[in-house]
Amino acid sequence: MDCMSLINAAVFAFKRHWIKKEKSQKQHGPIFRADAYCTFSSCPVIAKLTISNKSIQADNVIAQVNFTGFVHHATGEKQARKISSSVRSQLKQHFQSTHVAPSKEYHKQLKMLASEQYAAGNRDGVGCSSSVMRTISSEARLALQFNKDLIASLLLLKNCIIKSENESIAKPRVVKGFIQHIHASPFSVICFNEASVRLYHEVSKNSSLFCDATGTIVALPKQQGKQPTVYYYAVVLKHPNEGKSPLAVAELITEDHTVLSVSFFLQSLRRAESQLYNSSNLTIPPQVIIDRSQVLLISFLNVYNMESIEEYLHRTFRKVSGCGKPKDFLKISPHACTSHVMNSAKKDTKKWFKKVQYRFCMYCFSLAVNCTSLEQLSNVICLFKMLYCSKMESKQMKSAYNSLADFINSLDKDCFQEQSVESEDHDHEDNRDELHPTQHPFGAYFSKKVDNITLSDQGSVHNEYYNPEYFDMLMKNWFSIAPFWSALMLGKLFNSYASFSAEWFTADC
């Protein structure tokens, strides 16, 4: 291997060096000497660097380097020296001017490495992972802050936006700037402007509202050795024109994932709306799509409807049973995102069934999700009772299985393809465990239906779907809050789902 190939392959670190004193009595020794080694765990290559008096010519200094050993790197191992300050400064300027994503820049730099260097695992000048670029990008952003202190910087930024806004328009706005509230402890920032509030007021009257959170966008510095969890909440509207991107309304960045924090966020938005349109003319969207977070469910019910979860269930039961009062239809209806619902149902079902039975059980649960009336859902639950609570494959159990299977086969299987949803930690704050079915109308209604079923155990073959504990779990954790996750409050949501004809759901109850 030639000298350049070795330099491209090895990643050197110096372990000792020696400098000759100015008035040293040693006349023949080198001026500078250093020993280096390759940082790869199994590589024996070492280098000795020397600079002698003869090496110094005018403004040029020539160093002599002697290499010993052969390059030997383990497959998959990567090493890199620290990126020099000059290169680091260039990258910071690059990030500040282009706003390119760190991961994108990292892969761009990787492509520029020599093939020998890349194959050897040498990542000099790039870093062993994209975290190096993320750190440099973060440093570049911090350099643009108004103040090293985050809260002080945000306050200065808030005032700067308001000042710039006042200078550019003749009439001052009612809702000033973009950053509306800044809290230091717990950290929280609420953002929206007058234009987004007006958009929300006009569009949300006949459109669905969406609210979700993610914990992968914003990060705060470690506090007492721990990394605080910061979530980015976003409220968006469905665009009136089909196929267009959602319309952004408001944003919340917070480490306080509580009903109090999220409710204050929603109340701030409604207060800004009341400043523009008076409190008597506030908009109540017909529906809001959220994940299965208990915090979001309670917050929306409190702020928009001034009702508890129990009051919400009683109100929705009156609506789906045909006994709804006029005021029942004037309140917002929270609904869980179907992807989150199916992901949670998948986790629940996998605890009780093996792979063969699990797939059919998930198809069955999909039928319950898409029930658009109380009668349809109650008939599906009755079929579930016969399927999961019959010990033997009786005529009754086979009839229930065939009814479910026939309906599943009549539908487009693409509607039921499994999708992996990455759940955030706050999604596991499950709102179901606090709701017992006998305490609320849906639980009581469905319990009464299934209690009237007399199961038949006549048969010689054991029922492989027999699992009464799973059925009890569905009754307690799911069917007691059916309007929150099923299509009861949505109507026929997808054209691809066939109409629920009575013949599919005829149960011998």
pLDDT in tens, 280-337: 899 999 999 998 889 999 999 999 999 999 999 999 999 998 888 888 888 999 999 9
Q: How many Cβ atoms are within 10 Å of 240's Cβ, its own excluded?
A: 11
CA separation for the pair 29, 373 (Å, rounded): 94
Residue 112 CA from chain centroid, whole number: 33
pLDDT digits (tens, 9 = 90+) for 5-18: 888 889 999 988 88
- How many whole angstroms separate alpha carbon 390 and alpha carbon 387? 6
CB atoms within 10 A of CB 230: 20
Would you say 284 and 301 are in contact if contact means Cβ atoms under 8 Å apart?
no
Strands of 46-51's sheet in order across: 12-19, 32-38, 46-51, 64-68
Distance, in Å, from the CA atom of 421 to the CA atom of 344, rounded to the nearest integer, reads 9
* Per-residue buried b or exposed e for 264-303, using 16+ beta carbons within 10 Å of the residue's own CB: bbbebbbebbeeeeeeeeebebbbbbbbbbbbbbbbbbbb
Three-state secondary structure along 39-79? CCCCCCCEEEEEECHHHEECCEECCEEEEECCCCCCCCCCE
pLDDT value of residue 277: 94
Q: What is the average pLDDT value for the chain, to the nearest integer?
A: 85
Residue 143 host element (H or E) = helix 131-143
Per-residue pLDDT at 509: 39
Q: Does pLDDT of 122 surpass 90?
A: yes
CB neighbours (10 Å) of residue 339?
Answer: 12
Task: Kindly indicate the confidence band of residue 501, based on its pLDDT and cuts at 50, 70 and 90.
Answer: very low
State mean pLDDT over 69-96.
91
Q: What is the pLDDT of residue 412?
A: 59
Tell me the sheet residues that pair with 430: 293
Give the model's pLDDT for residue 60.
78
Please tell me whether the overall predicted TM-score, pTM, comes out greater than 0.85 for this model: no
Instruction: Give CA–CA dist 376/167, Å, rounded.
Output: 60
Phi, psi (rounded to 5 degrees) for 58? 55, -120
Give residue-wise pLDDT tens across range 370-389. 888 999 999 999 999 999 99
- Mean pLDDT value across residues 452-458: 86
Assess whether pLDDT exceeds 90 at residue 190. Answer: yes
263 within 8 A of 300, measured Cβ to Cβ: no
**With the CA atoms of 123, 125, 127 and 130 taken in that order, what torsion angle do they form, in degrees rounded to the nearest 10?**
-120
- pLDDT band, residue 3 (cuts 50/70/90): confident
Q: What is the pLDDT of residue 142?
A: 84
Query: Looking at the predicted structure, is the pLDDT value of residue 503 above 50?
Result: no
